[in-house]
A and B are shown apart, each in its own frame.
Chain A
Amino acid sequence: MTIINTFEQLLDECITKNKKIYEIAQENAAEEADITVEQVRVFTNKTLFAMKEAIQSGMASKELSMSEMCGQDCHRLQKRYKKTRAILGGTFEKIVEYALATSEENIRMGKIAACPTAGSCGIVPAALIAVSEDYNHSEREQINALITAGEVGRIISAKVALAGAVAGCQAECGAASAMSAAAICQLQGGNVSQILNAAALALKNILGLTCDPVAGLVEVPCVKRNPFLAIHSITAAELALADIKSCIPFDEVVDAMEQTGALMSPTLKESSQAGLAATKTALEIQKKIFG
């Protein structure tokens, strides 16, 4: 097995072996963990199932989080779309609803699948499941897409830990949107180069995103950031499927993210000392919650 730690290596491996990203990823993951490819797919399917469950429970709930900052926005969206259709149509409606449903489920202590983190848990499932429903992608294809997303996240994390405290939100929601772009591109029949360009475009256009959660809770801005970045990932996939390339190769985009994360002030990396968390309103909210 060739150890793959860069996107260039991944692309080479796919070309030499004439395989898709998910094929290489599932074979390597199986070999490394000493299990079968089938077991890797079963594991992935469990995550996929948990994602669908979270969407379902999230769509049906109006329960607020403990801080009472979030929990009813998915409900508001559903109410609007019962009367008025979204400008961009049904799939858009689903994606923003599913992303909010999942993220709200997370903050009310419901069950979710971290992907890659809990704060960014709504992005990949919203795009992947909404598009699969509307374009009739089978469960097998959904698993292929989720493995593709996972492999993209894994290779990013070989350079930068996917944590707001390490590199800001570009490493959480940003990485999730790159993973999601890859998944959508895989679902819609993109080739390996298109998939990697989709992920690179998504990440490139979110560099510098800080992590400044109000009152130190994974709620504001995290919850609403999920629908934004799910849609962002669709834009990236659409561009890439038209053979639009990222001028900067994916590996270098990841390098840029690493450097940007290192240069980012620690006050903007999950410590809630600056940015949104330090606004007058945020401080008032914090006082109300924690006294």
Chain B
Amino acid sequence: MKKTTLFDIISPIMIGPSSSHTAGAVRLGLLAKNIYKNKPRKVTFKLYNSYAHTGKGHGTEKGLLAGVLGLSVDDRRIKDIFDSELAKTIQYEFQYADNFKQHPNAVEMTFEGDTKMFIAGESVGAGEIAIRKINEFNVKLTGKYNTILIVYKDMPGMISQVSSILQYHNKNIASLNCDRNAKGKEASMLISLDGSVDDTIIETIQEIPEVYFVSYIEKLEN
């Protein structure tokens, strides 16, 4: 766990009432939006356990939607987001379920638009969040670092190819995690970075023949 700082103790400035159920929900929506990138036509949110049971009283649904629409945790529009013009620009649906295997504050989001994407995450406390799944890949994204997501044909040597590109551009890797999908044909790599990267790095990675897909996921502002 990241050490708590002075800043963490006297913040965030946020819309109430709950850091995990309101601010955390906004941040989950925001990070999912950064992952999906394009504006979705429709988003389906499936809330689990405590999120499903006490979400209404905490504005969890409002927070999730507001995040997907790009509002930050301290935006006063969150409260009346359902009645806003902004909310009319996409379709959304909420579903509710219980599953003891899931985190108490878990949500699954299905984005539909030009592409379809499944993103699942958890609000782990004090407004901190973790995205745990993108499509069929297990990941861990906290929104604290700029991150590169790479989906590629599972084969040896990919990690060193990518890291040499980053090294060439003088980028420092904060953490790296990999996963394979069930079939074992595709793999995913998540690289968190100190600092940011520009398009040329992403394009260079994209040019590796075995790479199916690269995406640059920006960190959250607060």
Contact = CB atoms under 8 A, between A and B. Distances in A.
A153 B78 CA distance: 29
Interface stretch (A197-205, A210-218, A228-236, A248-256): A210-218
A19 to B, nearest CB: 15
Give the size range of A's interface with the partner.
Answer: 35 or more
A157 to B, nearest CB: 5
A118 B23 contact: yes
A111 B76 contact: yes
Interface string A255-291: 0000000000000000000000000000000000110
Nearest to A179: B9
A33 interface: yes
Interface string A119-162: 10100000000000000000000000011011101100110011
Which residue of A110, A121, A216, A290 has the most chain B CB atoms within 10 A of its CB atom? A216
A65 B17 CA distance: 9
A223 B62 CA distance: 22
B16 A289 contact: no
Contacts, number: 137
Contact of A154 (B9, B14, B53): B9
Given A33-B5, A33-B7, A290 B53 contact: yes
Interface string B1-38: 00111111111111111110011000000000000000
A118 B5 contact: no
Contact of A114 (B6, B12, B50, B56): B12
Nearest to B19: A118
Contact of B16 (A25, A33, A47, A108): A108
Contact of B14 (A40, A111, A217): A111
B13 A113 contact: yes
5 contacts: A110-B76, A115-B10, A117-B19, A157-B9, A163-B125
Contact of A110 (B4, B10, B15, B126): B15
Given A151-B6, A216-B53, A111 B11 contact: no
Contact of B5 (A32, A146, A166): A32
Interface of B: 3-19, 22-23, 50, 53-54, 56-59, 62, 74, 76, 78-79, 125-127
A105 interface: yes
Contacts of B19: 114, 117-118
B16 A117 contact: no
Contact of A161 (B5, B22, B125): B125
Contacts of B58: 217-218
A192 interface: no
Contacts of A187: none
Contacts of A289: 56-57
Contact of B57 (A67, A113, A179): A67
Interface of A: 25-26, 28-29, 32-33, 40, 43-44, 46-47, 50, 65-67, 105-119, 121, 146-147, 149-151, 153-154, 157-158, 161-163, 165-166, 179, 215-219, 289-290
A89 B106 CA distance: 47
Contacts of B74: 50, 111
A156 to B, nearest CB: 9
B18 A218 contact: yes
B5 A47 contact: no
Given A33-B7, A216-B53, A163 B14 contact: no
B63 to A, nearest CB: 9
A150 B18 CA distance: 20
A35 B13 CA distance: 20
Given A111-B74, A114-B127, A117-B126, A219 B9 contact: no
